[in-house]
Amino acid sequence: MLHLVKKAILIATAILLPLTVFSQHTIKGTVKSEGENEPLIGANVILLPISKGNTSNQNGKFEINNIPNGDYTLKVSYVGYKTLEKSITINENRTFEFQLESDKVLSEEVVVSAIRADKLAPITQTTLNKKEINSVFNGQDGAFVLEQLSPSIQVNSDAGTRFTNYGSMRLRGIDQKRINITLNGVPLNDMMDQGVFFSNFTDITRSMESVQIQRGVGTSTNGTASYAGSIGYESEKINTEKPEATVTLLAGSFNTWQGTAEAKTGLMDNNTAFYTRLSRTYSDGYRDHSGSDAYSFFFSGGWFGEKDIIKINGFNGRTKNDLAYSPVPESLIEEDPKTNINNPNDIDDFGQSLLQLEHTHFFGDNSTLTSSAYYGGAGGDFPFTYNLDSVTLQSINYPLFNDHFGVMSYFNQKFTDFEWTTGVHAYRFKRENIEQLVPNFSNPYYQDQSTKDEISGFIKGTYRIGKFSLLADVQARYVTLEMIPDIDFLGENRSIPTYDWTFINPKIGVTYEINSTLNTYASFGRSGREPTRSNYLGDTQINEGNIDSLQNQGFVKPEFVNDFEAGIRYNTQTAKFNFNAFYMDFENEIAPIGEFIPQYFIQLYENQAASFRRGVEFDWQFIPLENFIFSGNATYMQSIISEYRPEGSNEVFEDIKTPYSPEYFVNAQIQYQPIEQFGLSFHTRFVGMSYTELTNTENFVLPSYSVANVKLFSNLSENYRVELELNNIFSEQYYTDGAPVGNEMGFFVQAPAHFYATFIAKF
């Protein structure tokens, strides 16, 4: 009898054991944000009551294996979003897609939302999240990331590496002094000359959570006028689930190396969170004596209460650049493409810093008040060596020092069909310009001061009627500029009156939401922009060549743009595209067309005849397979100045093409990741020909070019990753900028085939 019982048990075990094994199931899926539909990286997915779980990867995907049959509660949580719980029954493998709703009280992006356009706003825009930024970022100058991922942007690299040293950027062919750039709402532009130099704070893109590029006038923002457009950065999100640390090491061509260390605490028990990054970058550059030696530091800390967020953000950067900002005559390039005509002893030493304190208060679920105070500083040495004759050299240092103080505050309120925001911003920007003979740095022969003040305010609202969303936005800016000459240099009784301007910048638009994936929009915006300090001076100093003009309010008036935009947007899980047309009509556009005063080497600026830019832009992303992405952007643009009369000439040029404004831009990228551990991408870029001066002489053009790059990456494990970036794989000799030098063209040559290798470790 006992023998029969044992045999029965063995038979039952043999039958039931496989059934038990086969009853183990797998659930998988994705976690995304509601509305934006962006993947949430590091979301916690827990199966209760067995407490089995996992976290979502960089694509927002998760997988939980070996789950027995039964009834469970699936809990999905992510800091800054409301926790989701779902009752499920497991008797087979299942796939889920979760969309988490933002928890406003814990959400950090409320700080930048006041000056950003939402996804349905009738604004031509590209918004990049951290995953998209990191797909092309490897430590290079931040402008090159934007050039690849957003339409109509072109960037130049002085060193030719597209990685370090100075660079310049254009949007729709318009220079970076006419592009408004902010970080968490704080202006990064130099208010006097209105430019931004990413070289001053290298590797800052690594500490960014997102960036929005608005092309055209766009929504109201802080700081300089959004003339060509605006670029708004949001800093690293610190309110995360878990602490983490990351070390990134890069090495590559031209003796380039970079080391970066990052640390993040995540949200701690006392409701505080902190993030910090330290970077060091070095490169010899491709062109002769075009190297850089830089460090940068970024930090952010915050306290997250039930109805309040208090944060402090800041950065500090310092860079020594071998100067290579002069275009090289084509005849010298033919002898040696690496030629740099700047003196090898000319090495600048410049730094920039920012400190911001911000507070957000939540009045229930539908109203917020966000306020900030900030200080920005910049300064350093900028030497230049003059060849006075064949044997005599004279080096002059042109140091400058900036102090920038400001405050801003926004109030936002949301209702079912209506949302409105109002805000104010005020700042004072102080500049000291010095000139001194090298090496006698302690005794400057020239010194002036300038002060610029601004107060601005805006109010905007969006009203939804059925499938229509109506936007109205108006901004008022009042700006003053005071310039105090060097009396010892220029003499007594040479005071300059204080300049002042008032601008009213209106915007209106409408969006029609055809369905949840497709919408179309149209808008109009107008923006006025005051002249820069250099527009008035035509030089670095106030002297006899420009003082008469300055005392008579100058020859330069403010410039204005009337911007018309219309487009259609489509967005699904596997495909998205944005297509838009634009027409920008310019009034009194400022250009270097005034009198040239040779004894002071001054080129005065004046307002030119009417001009316009019109074109179409297209950006897309298609995901036909889960591991295959085809993306890119393209622009076709015409840019025409109605009339140009050279100073001192009776000749008239009509309907000329605006310099530095190519008709065509194309970026295309394919990314393929056949397995989790390995992937690659191929990127190609084409830029059309453009003229470099106002007579459209065929000898003075920037040739069209195309360049191709390859990136390989391997996820060695969950915590380790290696990347290999191969740039200009066909070693094309191409130029991204240039200007006439005497009777021939001068260019900035970009590097032939080169590479960067990166190792990333997360802890």
Closest CA to 684 of 656, 717, 706: 706
How remote is the C-alpha of 182 from its chain's centroid?
A: 9
Considering only 60-64, 470-474, 669-673, which range has the smallest mean pLDDT? 60-64
Helix, strand, or coil here: 614? strand
Domains in the chain: how many in total? 3
Q: What is the CATH number of the domain that holds 584?
A: 2.40.170.20
86 or 21: whose pLDDT is higher?
86
Same domain, 731 and 641: yes
- Quick check: helix, strand or coil at residue 613? strand
Would the pLDDT of 487 be above 50? yes
- How high is the pLDDT of residue 365? 77
Q: How confident is the model at residue 253 (pLDDT cuts 50, 70, 90)?
A: very high
* CA terminus-to-terminus distance, the chain: 61
Query: 439 pLDDT band (50/70/90 cuts)?
Result: confident
Res 308 pLDDT > 70: yes
Amino acid at 397: N
Instruction: Note whether 180 and 246 are same-domain residues.
Output: no
Residue 252's pLDDT is what? 97
My answer on whether 597 and 464 are in the same domain is yes
pLDDT tier at 20, thresholds 50, 70, 90:
very low
Give mean pLDDT, residues 703-716. Answer: 97
* Residue 379 falls inside a structural domain: yes
Judge whether residue 510 has pLDDT over 60: yes
Residues in the chain: 763
CB atoms within 10 A of CB 506: 15
Amino acid 185 reads G
In terms of average pLDDT, the best of 95-99, 216-220, 384-388, 547-551 is 216-220
Residue 587 in this model has a pLDDT that exceeds 90: yes
Count of Cβ atoms closer than 10 Å to residue 546 Cβ: 20
pTM more than 0.85: yes
Among positive and negative, which fits the CA dihedral 223, 225, 228, 229? positive
Determine the Cα–Cα distance for residues 536 and 542; give it in Å rounded to an integer: 9
Longest dimension (CA), the chain: 124
Is residue 484 helix, strand or coil?
A: strand
Is the pLDDT higher at 96 or at 328?
A: 328
Instruction: Give whichever of 31-40, 88-97, 630-639 has the largest mean pLDDT.
Output: 630-639
pLDDT at 7: 54
Same domain? 260 vs 141: no
CATH code of the domain covering residue 227: 2.170.130.10
**Alpha carbons 198 and 211: distance in angstroms, whole number:** 15
Q: How does residue 389 score in pLDDT terms, banded at 50, 70 and 90?
A: low
Question: Mind listing the pLDDT tens digit for each residue in 666-679?
Answer: 999 999 999 989 99
For residue 632, count other CB atoms closer than 10 A to its CB.
Answer: 20
Last residue in a domain, options 209, 231, 253: 231
Does residue 741 register a pLDDT over 70? yes
643 and 750 housed in the same domain: yes
Q: Are residues 82 and 111 in the same domain?
A: no
Which of 203, 231, 259 is the last residue in one of the domains? 231
Q: What is the pLDDT of residue 432?
A: 96
Task: Say yes or no to pLDDT of 692 above 50.
Answer: yes
Calculate what percentage of the chain has a pLDDT beyond 90. 71
Residues of the chain with pLDDT > 70: what percent? 94
Location of structure tokens 């801003």: 408
The answer on 186 and 300 residing in a single domain is no
- Taking only the tens place, the pLDDT of each residue in 592-649 is 887 776 655 667 788 988 999 999 999 999 999 989 999 999 999 999 999 998 877 8
Does residue 592 lie in a domain region?
Answer: yes
The token pair that represents 664 in the structure block: 């065509």
User: What's the confidence (pLDDT) of residue 17?
Assistant: 43
pLDDT at 408: 97
pLDDT of 517: 94
Last residue of a domain, one of 101, 135, 160: 101
Tokens 């063995």, residue? 10
Task: Give the separation between CA 600 and CA 713, rounded to whole angstroms.
Answer: 54
Per-residue pLDDT band at 16 (split at 50, 70, 90): very low
User: 6 in a domain, yes or no?
Assistant: no
Provide the pLDDT for residue 688: 98
pLDDT for 114 equals 83
- Rg of the chain's alpha carbons, rounded to an integer? 29
Residue 3 lies in a domain: no
Query: Which residue range is the domain that position 428 belongs to?
Result: 232-762
